[in-house]
Amino acid sequence: MNKKEKLALNGGFPIRDSYLSYGKQSIDDEDIKAVTNILKSDFITTGPAISQFEKEIAEFVGAKYAVAFSSGTAALHAACFAAGIKENNEVITTPMTFAASSNCILYVGGQPVFADIDPKTYNISPESIKSLITEKTKAIITVDFTGQPAEYDEIISLATKHGLIIIDDAAHALGAIYKDKPIGSIGDMTMFSFHPVKHITTGEGGVITTNNEDYFEKLQLFRSHGITRDSSKLKKYHGPWYYEMQELGYNYRMTDIQAALGSSQLKKLSNFLEKRREYAKKYTEAFSEIETLITPYQQDECNSSWHLYIIQLDTARLKTNRSEIFKALQTENIGVNVHYIPVYLHPFYQQIGYKKGLCPNAEKLYEEIITLPLFPAMSEQDLNDVIAGVKKVISYYSIDQR
């Protein structure tokens, strides 16, 4: 789009005076007070705020245990360790996700196997999973893409039949519901992320929830150098100071500073979810009659937590490609994004043998989607600006423009 076209499209000025990002944290005085209280206390790390936050998360999602980590990626790495994934094990996952969902498999020596997505829900396809299960398959890593739960009835049936572990990457799905069950209580292990653009934030941070005591103990060990001080688990006992490194673990601990912020944020989660769902509904209503846009499909008996709102372009009805529409929306000061580049299309994965064409539905979707701003701190005016900007740009590029 050249300067002349841009001016014609924008009427000489953008919809907004200031840039609106696609996601942003919501921090208030209570959050700041929670953090400063920790800074004034005896423990700023390895203290009681961490176990308190873990307890609150476990209770919220209906799980027996929760183990907090320094990031969602660290949590996924730990889940793969706890699951016993090793060299020559295959793990089936989706390519429509952030790279960490499959990188964690590589960290422990496993082999990611990418299943295609359902073109309607954008989530991993149970039929594609079924076709990829081999004797080497150890686990399935699902992703609740945009906050909509994957199709767990079918996936659990496959996992049970073949003796597979389900690790749910629910970075998008804190507060989501699948058939009356909270996400976090369904998979063998579930990861939530607390990055600033997620439902609640701890700055950086993540957690694994589980109902399995063995996984719980392995997760705790892994996040702290593989070291234990638990006298019941020690191989020897030299005295009350004694500890043992029993596994090759990492320093993946969350700090009390982060945990205190997380506990404070968790108190506001219901309001955050309500706002996200309200804004997603308004987006869908506003765009439902635009024939060049496909709004997100929602499964029956599920309630998305709406981390992302994605529009899919019907490019056959448009005079240009996704790239030009993306740039036009950014010119309107609307901070659109794209989630995601299929993981195996990244140069690293191409270098280790993955090829384009592996998951046709995911690759097609990638070429057609744009992520719109969606976060609780948005105002009604912000929402209306996004709607107006999308309508303006799509109308301009529509083949059927009147």
**Contact, 287 vs 342, CB < 8 A?**
no
Long-range contacts of 105-114, Cβ-Cβ distance < 8 Å, separation of 24 or more: 105/80, 105/141, 107/77, 107/80, 108/77, 108/80, 108/81, 109/85, 110/80, 110/85, 110/86, 110/138, 111/136, 112/343, 112/344, 113/137, 114/342, 114/343, 114/344, 114/354, 114/358, 114/359, 114/362
What pLDDT does 8 receive?
Answer: 45
Looking at every residue in the chain, the average pLDDT score rounds to 96
CA angle centred on 168, ends 249 and 360, rounded to 5°: 115
What pLDDT does 401 receive?
Answer: 57
What pLDDT does 3 receive?
Answer: 57
pLDDT in tens, 287-317: 999 999 999 999 999 999 999 999 999 989 9
Residue type present at position 141: I
Q: Which H or E run contains 207? A: strand 206-210
Residue type present at position 235: K
| Encoded tokens for 306 | 């709406």
CA angle centred on 136, ends 133 and 139, rounded to 5°: 65
**Contact, 398 vs 315, CB < 8 A?**
no
Phi and psi for 87 in degrees, rounded to 5? -55, 140
pLDDT in tens, 206-261: 999 999 999 999 999 999 999 999 999 999 999 999 999 999 999 999 999 999 99
CATH 3.40.640.10 fits 29-266, yes or no: yes
C-alpha 35: how far from chain center: 25
The residues of the chain that CATH labels 3.40.640.10 are: 29-266
pLDDT of the chain, 402 residues: tens digit per residue: 665 455 546 566 799 999 999 999 999 999 999 999 999 999 999 999 999 999 999 999 999 999 999 999 999 999 999 999 999 999 999 999 999 999 999 999 999 999 999 999 999 999 999 999 999 999 999 999 999 999 999 999 999 999 999 999 999 999 999 999 999 999 999 999 999 999 999 999 999 999 999 999 999 999 999 999 999 999 999 999 999 999 999 999 999 999 999 999 999 999 999 999 999 999 999 999 999 999 999 999 999 999 999 999 998 999 999 999 999 999 999 999 999 999 999 999 999 999 999 999 999 999 999 999 999 999 999 999 999 999 999 999 998 754
CA dist., res. 97 & res. 340, Å (int): 6
CA dist., res. 288 & res. 290, Å (int): 6
CA dist., res. 176 & res. 182, Å (int): 6
The residues of the chain that CATH labels 3.90.1150.10 are: 3-24+269-397
| Encoded tokens for 75 | 């949590």
The Cβ-side half-sphere exposure at 261, using a 13 Å CA radius, reads 25
| Encoded tokens for 74 | 């660290």
Residues in the chain: 402
**Contact, 322 vs 343, CB < 8 A?**
no
**Contact, 144 vs 302, CB < 8 A?**
no
Assigned CATH for 3-24+269-397: 3.90.1150.10
CA dist., res. 63 & res. 362, Å (int): 32
Helix axis angle, 3-10 to 380-397, nearest 10°: 120
